[in-house]
A and B are shown apart, each in its own frame.
Chain A
Amino acid sequence: EDQVTQSPEALRLQEGESSSLNCSYTVSGLRGLFWYRQDPGKGPEFLFTLYSAGEEKEKERLKATLTKKESFLHITAPKPEDSATYLCAVGNYGGATNKLIFGTGTLLAVQP
Chain B
Amino acid sequence: GAVVSQHPSWVICKSGTSVKIECRSLDFQATTMFWYRQFPKQSLMLMATSNEGSKATYEQGVEKDKFLINHASLTLSTLTVTSAHPEDSSFYICSAGWGETQYFGPGTRLLVL
How many Å from the CB of B37 to the closest CB on chain A? 12
- Contact check, B109 vs A105: say whether CB atoms are below 8 A apart: no
The 8 A CB mask of A50-83 against B (1 = contact, 0 = none) is 0000000000000000000000000000000000
User: Which chain A residues in 18-39 approach chain B with CB under 8 Å?
Assistant: 31-32, 34, 36
Q: A98 and B106 in contact (CB under 8 A), knowing A44-B44, A103-B43?
A: no
A interface, size bucket: 20 to 34
Q: A46 and B32 in contact (CB under 8 A), knowing A41-B107, A96-B49?
A: no
- Contact check, B104 vs A98: say whether CB atoms are below 8 A apart: no
Q: A42 and B32 in contact (CB under 8 A), knowing A97-B97, A99-B46?
A: no
Task: Give the B interface residue count (CB, 8 A).
Answer: 25
Residues of B within 8 A of A (CB): 2, 4, 6, 31-32, 34, 42-44, 46, 49, 57, 91, 93, 95, 97, 100-107, 109
Extra contacts, 15 of them, besides A98-B32, A102-B43 (Cβ < 8 A), are A32-B101, A34-B102, A36-B104, A41-B107, A42-B107, A43-B4, A43-B93, A43-B105, A44-B104, A49-B100, A91-B100, A96-B57, A99-B34, A102-B44, A105-B43
